[in-house]
Structure 1
């Protein structure tokens, strides 16, 4: 049985809803996610995004289970390179990081700090720990994967199959954010 969670930016101008459960709950420690998180945190008034480990906590959802209810006009994207398929989306009304969109994929990663108190699903794994100088400093509370495991990909493919192998587009993000990093 699924239930709906509403998430919003810090000021409440952007509101989204997601249908639970997520595909998985992860914390990414890749160089790209850590670089992008630092850039988003440096925006004026932006909330903290990185965890104590330096990683970014995300809830992975099928794109067909994520909707923007209000404030889409405040959403802007930025990409670390001109050719990357990955875009990060920020609510510019208050500079809240909202999600990471794999534009050719069937899923979206919504940032963990958006969840209302007590509703964030438990962390299941850390990924891309091989990008860290010293991954031995990470806590052992969940698996700390050097890259992505076979189980990670099985879950993604299972979610895609459940969607009929469709790849919906998130087409309500229209503007570009000039981010320095």
Structure 2
């Protein structure tokens, strides 16, 4: 099975992903765009949004992701205290690493972690319905108003392949912005 080492901007925190992602997408939901804007103001952080405001990520089964180094730098960020999703940041250089939805068996790993030549290409843009105007979006891949049945079907079959497990991803604490 092929694997890829990816990591934060300074190189102290790295992940290994095994095999192909479940899917690769760009999210345009209000939550992802708001979180990216808030994380971009951390010291030395870079904005992870595309030029048109999408958050690109590769969805990977949790059992195919391993923290290789820097676990002590991983901190969670939530948009609000009761938020059902968390973004995990490598605080060594404030690089956003991934998004984890509450109860999910997958991680949305941010595409900026891959070297340019190995970066997976997005298959779809989701949640364009959160935008007031979509005329500025490229038309090179489908621009979907919300998540589709196909999107959820891919995630479901990945969960089946995992034996309906949901591995826990531990982090070293929280950050506030």
- Whether 2:172 is the aligned partner of 1:174: answer yes
Aligned residue pairs total: 177
Residue 174 of structure 1 deviates from its aligned partner by 2.3
What are the equivalent positions in structure 2 for 1:122-161 lying under 5 Å apart?
Answer: 122-161=121-160
Query: 2:51 corresponds to which residue?
Result: 52
Provide the C-alpha distance between the structure 2 equivalents of 1:148 and 1:120, rounded to a whole number of angstroms: 22
Matched position secondary structure for 2:88: strand
**Given that residues 87 and 100 in structure 2 are in contact (C-alpha distance below 8 angstroms), is that contact kept between their aligned partners in structure 1?**
yes
* Structure 2 alignment gaps of length 5 or more: none
Provide, for residues 116-174 of structure 1, a one-character-per-residue CA deviation record: whole Å limited to 9, x for no partner: 12111111000000000101221110000000011101100010000011111112x12
Matched position secondary structure for 2:67: strand
- Whether 2:3 is the aligned partner of 1:4: answer yes
Provide the C-alpha distance between the structure 2 equivalents of 1:178 and 1:69, rounded to a whole number of angstroms: 25
Residue 103 of structure 1 deviates from its aligned partner by 3.0
**Given that residues 103 and 169 in structure 1 are in contact (C-alpha distance below 8 angstroms), is that contact kept between their aligned partners in structure 2?**
no
What are the equivalent positions in structure 2 for 1:73-152 lying under 5 Å apart?
Answer: 73-152=72-151
Provide, for residues 55-100 of structure 1, a one-character-per-residue CA deviation record: whole Å limited to 9, x for no partner: 1000100000001011100111010111122000111110111110
Q: Structure 1 residues 30-39 or 102-111, which shifts more?
A: 102-111
Residue 52 of structure 1 deviates from its aligned partner by 1.0
**Given that residues 73 and 172 in structure 2 are in contact (C-alpha distance below 8 angstroms), is that contact kept between their aligned partners in structure 1?**
no
* Structure 1 alignment gaps of length 5 or more: none
